[in-house]
């Protein structure tokens, strides 16, 4: 299979599988090189962080790389992830760090 056909096949396969087996969504917080925080959502954390660090992520992080993953939480669907993302984006910087700290402490 040539590259274009393979990409199309993989894309269609992912779309079909997502309908059969719903993928979890993740809300995440990364810290940029300039110490600013970015909040986003994705279905693939590792890939998304790599995208941000290779300049293929969003415009905001493109010029603030590398980014470092500080926090993520799992959601059962895109809708709940978007709602939580918007909620976290409204948090102050201090409240975002409290969320990160509390998540870290709960893992101990």
30-64 tens-digit pLDDT = 999 999 999 999 999 999 999 999 998 889 999 99
**Tokens linked to 6:** 């393979």
Instruction: Look at the block and give the residue holding tokens 């954390």.
Output: 45
Cis peptide before 45 (omega within 30 of 0): no
Q: What is the pLDDT of residues 67-96, one digit of tens each?
A: 999 999 999 999 999 999 999 999 999 999
Kindly list the domain boundaries of the chain, sorted by start residue. 23-106
Q: Are 30 and 38 in contact (CB under 8 A)?
A: yes
Indicate if the alpha-carbon torsion angle 103, 73, 41, 52 is positive or negative.
positive
At the second CATH level, the architecture of 23-106 is 3-Layer(aba) Sandwich (3.40)
pLDDT of residue 20: 77
Tell me how far the alpha carbon of residue 18 is from its chain's centroid.
17
């Amino acid at each position: 299979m040539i590259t274009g056909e393979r990409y199309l096949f993989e894309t269609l396969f992912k779309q079909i599988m997502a309908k059969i087996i719903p993928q979890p969504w993740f809300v995440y917080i990364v810290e940029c090189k300039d110490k600013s925080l970015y909040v986003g959502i994705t279905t693939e954390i590792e890939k998304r962080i790599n995208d941000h660090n290779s300049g293929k992520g969003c415009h905001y992080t493109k010029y603030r790389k590398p980014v470092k993953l500080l926090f993520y939480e799992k959601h059962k669907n895109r809708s709940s992830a978007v709602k939580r993302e918007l909620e976290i984006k409204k948090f102050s910087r201090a409240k975002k760090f409290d969320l990160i700290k509390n998540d870290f402490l709960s893992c101990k």
